[in-house]
Structure 1
């Protein structure tokens, strides 16, 4: 798949770190470091502008290493970049640890995964088919 991209950062384009990785690591594009205090969030620019094909979305996901080592996640995970968005890709990081974390320019802050999606057309109905689960919600499966 080819995705047109404007790279207005000082860093290389997002890239896969291994041959079979699903996500491309994306880097922070910062004039100066950003300090995230515990439970603080910040919108981190990447300097990238994408043209995602219609019928696809770009998912923005946390990097497992940052999550495990430093408690850094993404508030709206996974974030979605729609095919009609042409603004700068920014990542909404959150510090879930009890220590400050400094985001450095060029640091790999998230991963990007391309996913196909369908467009829904609602079909009004009077009833729905019955299932074994029925209306059981949160925590209702696996416990008798």
Structure 2
């Protein structure tokens, strides 16, 4: 019985990220766009407006983590068990800069250099770069 408790993080939490047409700072955004989570947490991407999806960016994931692809206009959840950086994009709005970054753990993130090297569309890169600058 003790082993079951040891395998489950005692303080795992759910983090909600909204998918929005218009956010506090601009159009086509995830709010918040930069999330700090701990292993065992679940990050839920919730559509508050129509025409959005959330999916991980395969080249911006910790080694060994499988990509997650959400469906249009539906909630998408990622249970983040492995420390590192998880890039997320809205498929129809990536070129409009609709990207997010999840940092799992306190760092340093083993995939930080790889995440920084990922080529994104210009507006997506403009929004992702400050998030990557915050990441450890």
Query: Shorter-chain TM-score: which interval?
Result: 0.3 to 0.5
Q: Which structure features the higher share of helix residues? A: 2
Q: Could you tell me the TM-score, scaled by structure 2's length?
A: 0.34
Larger radius of gyration: 1
Question: Which structure exhibits the higher relative contact order, with contacts defined as CA atoms closer than 8 Å and separated by 6 or more residues?
Answer: 1
Q: Could you tell me the TM-score, scaled by structure 1's length?
A: 0.32
